[in-house]
Amino acid sequence: MANNHLTSESKQLATWYLTFAAILFGAQLLFGLIAAIQYVMPGFLYGILDFSIARILHINALVVWMVFAMFGSVYWLLPDETGIETIGIKVGKLAYWVFVAAIVVVVLVFLLIQVGPASDTTIWFITEGREYIEAPRWADIGIVVVALTFVANLFLTGMKGKQTGIVTVLMADMIAFAGLYLAGMFFTDNISVDQYWWWWVIHLWVEATWEVFVGAIAAYGLITMIGAHRKVVEMWLWIEVAMLFGSGILGMGHHYFWIGTPEYWWEIGALFSALEPLPLVAMFVHVLYDWGKTQGAQNANGDETSVITNKPAFIWFVLNAFGNFLGAGVWGFFHTLPQINLYTHGTQFTSAHGHLAFFGAYATILVGMMYLAVQGKNGIKVMKNTKTSIWAVSMITGGVMGMTVALTIAGYVQVIVSRAQMGATWAAYFDGQSGVWFTQAMDWRLIMGVITFLGFLLLAKDLLTTGKNPVHER
Amino acid sequence: MANKSVWSDNRFWQRSATWVTGFAAILLIWLTFDTSAQISMGTDKDIQNKVTKRVPGPTVINYKITYERSPKRGLEVPIIGGNDGKGNSLFQEKEKFFGRDDWSEKEARAMLHLGKLGSQAKNCMDCHTLLGNGAYYAPDLTKSWLDPMWEDGTMQAIIGGTLGKELSKEEAMAEFLQHPELYPTHARQMPNLGITKKEAIGIVAFLKQMSSIDTNGFPRNFGKMKGAINGK
């Protein structure tokens, strides 16, 4: 774009990462819509783009856009935090293109080849067929190389420049994040062992390292957007790290109730995962508290203007604080105890939780980072809400919340009819699926999905037109 | 003036975070060693010696498998080769699998290997759940080997009727996997995924072995609910 106010190479690279993330976000929603239509009209694209393929693309686009946005967020904040330009940025840029090329190839293979014969070749070049990490083995290796490049950039920069609390947390967190991926890169005939390690990647990403990442980003956001005091913010960050890892690491037990693993995971999983919502409450309180505190201090000085320098980004950050608590915390707690999970495990309940948690905990804050990047790129001092930005955030949030409620109702029907009443068989499954409450819930999920997608289009429009919008203070 | 409290000291919280994380991680690693030993796959020798493993070896396909309540544990457990009346496996009663009940460990392992690979190569988990994990667009496969649809001969009759021959449970399953589009049971149909006969046999072996895994009573009351449902 013509008016680029960025002087930092690192921030430049961040905008590339965030842009590709936004494109993949759109793709995620599109494939989600296809899958949602298939629940309502099973014949839709049958034999051409079956549900399994739509869903693979839906969830993998989700994971990958978030990873892209996370890398982008780190490249964005590094110069601000460390006070120096990111080291090894040329390699970082090369890694970006390798990453993008790999993702494009993987998506094309998923779309056009879809499945392969039962052989190692399929695992290496077509699909690994393990939910969330279906990417074939060659791509796994590529992802590890790219992630290591990113971690190296982060470490070299963090060690040479000013090493703030935020940077220290990110360094520790990102190396764990990259390292854990290795746990998902082997094949075994033993499905219990398979799922045991599969959860090391999935759970320790989304319920541990990603959450800590969000804590660090929220801390950065509070400092840059409302001028919160670093000492306070970083103290909170360390408390959150202790609480998140303290509950989240052993909270993994709630995935080990029914996969062949010993019964002691019931107690461990129940106890620690029941504690998982606590840090999320703390994060929410912390964000609001800091906001009130800085605004109050400014008001006391006779200045009645807002302390927020980027309204849309701040809305997404506050939404994150609440959405994380509601989606990951409350909706997760609903079914985390083994006595309940025995009936809810593997139903739309999980899907309801998944939608609200991924949105509330991650999508929100990463969209907030996109707004921060747009602000910086266009040299805006104070970024204001626009009609489009308000409509976008309202429609996306309302849409996701609507989908979540619909899926929760569908989950209830499954739990009651398919599980409790009929005992979980094939016939029980389809009896639950045919119930009017279930089918109506699926209709509503589709409608809410469309609203979410329209909201996304408005979001894209708002982000793309910010540069020309005279409403913002420059 | 009082001294600054340790509770407002960032260093204190940084150290606390490090200790808590380290402690949790070490505990997880320790538990992983214990669990790994408990869920390692059994062998034919285990079955011969009547040793109950949480994940039995591949030759379990030579035996009859049921899913029954263990009074001691208060939940349903897989019973292999007959029940001693107290919820323990006897490892006696055999069951023919594709015409044989003497598959060697090597043969059975090869079938299981092909089946597990096939389950991934065909993305089973992105419509079905396995051990309750995956997608929710199609039935859970954890105990599908024991599903009444196959146990009471419903599916054998449908598939065998179409082909004009009598089929055993495993033969009918393999046939279904190769041509699912020919045997719809619901508006939501499984697509043809190009599964070969050999792959289908492997996948059925994988499903039978999976039904013998001790899943701590998940799913509960599987196939036990009979009688009036929805007034029918």
A80-127: pLDDT as tens digits: 999 999 999 999 999 999 999 999 999 999 999 999 999 999 999 999
d(CA A274, nearest CA chain B) in Å: 15
- The answer to the question of residue B17 being in a domain is no
Subunit contact B121:A343, Cβ cutoff 8 A: no
d(CA A386, nearest CA chain B) in Å: 39
B212 φ, ψ (degrees, to nearest 5): -95, 0
Predicted confidence band of residue A474 (pLDDT cuts 50, 70, 90): confident
Query: What confidence score (pLDDT) does residue B1 get?
Result: 66
Rounded mean pLDDT of chain A?
Answer: 95
Nearest chain A residue to B36 by CA distance is A193
Q: Are A260 and B214 a contacting pair, CB within 8 Å?
A: yes
Tens of pLDDT, residues A321-373: 999 999 999 999 999 999 999 999 999 999 999 999 999 999 999 999 999 99
Q: Closest partner residue to B39 among A258, A261, A345, by Cβ?
A: A261
Mean pLDDT within A293-315: 95
What per-residue string of b and e applies to B49-69 under the rule 16 or more CB within 10 Å gives b?
eeebbbbbbbbbbbbebbbeb
Q: Give B220's contacts in chain A (Cβ within 8 Å).
A: 342-343, 419, 423-424
Q: Give A189's contacts in chain B (Cβ within 8 Å).
A: 41, 58, 109, 112-113, 116
* Ramachandran bin of B86, using left for φ above 0, alpha for ψ from -120 to 50, beta for the remaining angles: alpha
Mean pLDDT within A262-288: 93
Q: Closest partner residue to B113 among A35, A130, A189, by Cβ?
A: A189
Tens of pLDDT, residues A423-468: 899 999 999 999 999 999 999 999 999 999 999 999 999 999 998 8
Q: Give A117's contacts in chain B (Cβ within 8 Å).
A: 121, 194, 196, 199
**Residue B49: pLDDT over 90:** yes
d(CA A240, CA A286) in angstroms, rounded, equals: 10
Amino acid at A436: V
Subunit contact B120:A130, Cβ cutoff 8 A: yes
Q: Closest partner residue to A131 among B116, B122, B133, by Cβ?
A: B133
- Chain A contact present for B221, CB below 8 A: yes
Query: What confidence score (pLDDT) does residue B2 get?
Result: 76
- The answer to the question of residue B168 being in a domain is yes
d(CA A404, nearest CA chain B) in Å: 15
Subunit contact A117:B217, Cβ cutoff 8 A: no
Q: Give B17's contacts in chain A (Cβ within 8 Å).
A: 238-239, 241-242, 245
Subunit contact B134:A347, Cβ cutoff 8 A: no
d(CA B27, CA A249) in angstroms, rounded, equals: 9
The total number of structural domains in chain B stands at 1
Query: What confidence score (pLDDT) does residue B185 get?
Result: 86
Both tokens of B88, joined, read 């323990």
- The answer to the question of residue B35 being in a domain is no
Q: Give B20's contacts in chain A (Cβ within 8 Å).
A: 242, 245-246
Identify from B27, B38, B186, B218 which residue to disrupt to test chain A contact, counting A C-beta atoms within 10 A and taking the largest count: B218
d(CA B205, CA B211) in angstroms, rounded, equals: 10
Percent of all residues in chain A with a pLDDT value above 70, rounded to a whole number: 99
Predicted confidence band of residue B204 (pLDDT cuts 50, 70, 90): very high
Query: What confidence score (pLDDT) does residue B3 get?
Result: 82
**Residue B148: pLDDT over 60:** yes
Identify from B5, B8, B16, B21 which residue to disrupt to test chain A contact, counting A C-beta atoms within 10 A and taking the largest count: B21
Q: Where are the domains of chain A?
A: 1-162
**Residue B119: pLDDT over 50:** yes
**Residue B231: pLDDT over 50:** no
Indicate the pTM of the whole model. 0.96
Where residue B170 sits, what CATH number does that domain have? 1.10.760
Distance of CA B217 to the CA centre of its chain: 12
Query: What confidence score (pLDDT) does residue B12 get?
Result: 95
d(CA A342, nearest CA chain B) in Å: 6
- The answer to the question of residue B16 being in a domain is no
Mean pLDDT within A263-284: 94
- Among residues A105, A123, A471, A30, the alpha carbon closest in space to that of B116 is found at A123
Query: What confidence score (pLDDT) does residue B55 get?
Result: 98
d(CA A259, CA B54) in angstroms, rounded, equals: 10
Tens of pLDDT, residues B82-105: 999 999 999 999 999 999 999 999
Helix (H) or strand (E) holding B129: strand B129-130
- Residue B55's domain comprises 44-211
Sequence-distant (≥ 6) Cβ neighbours of residue A393 within 8 angstroms: A312, A315, A316, A319, A455, A459
- The answer to the question of residue B184 being in a domain is yes
- The answer to the question of residue B15 being in a domain is no
Tens of pLDDT, residues A145-193: 999 999 999 999 999 999 999 999 999 999 999 999 999 999 999 999 9
**Residue B226: pLDDT over 70:** no
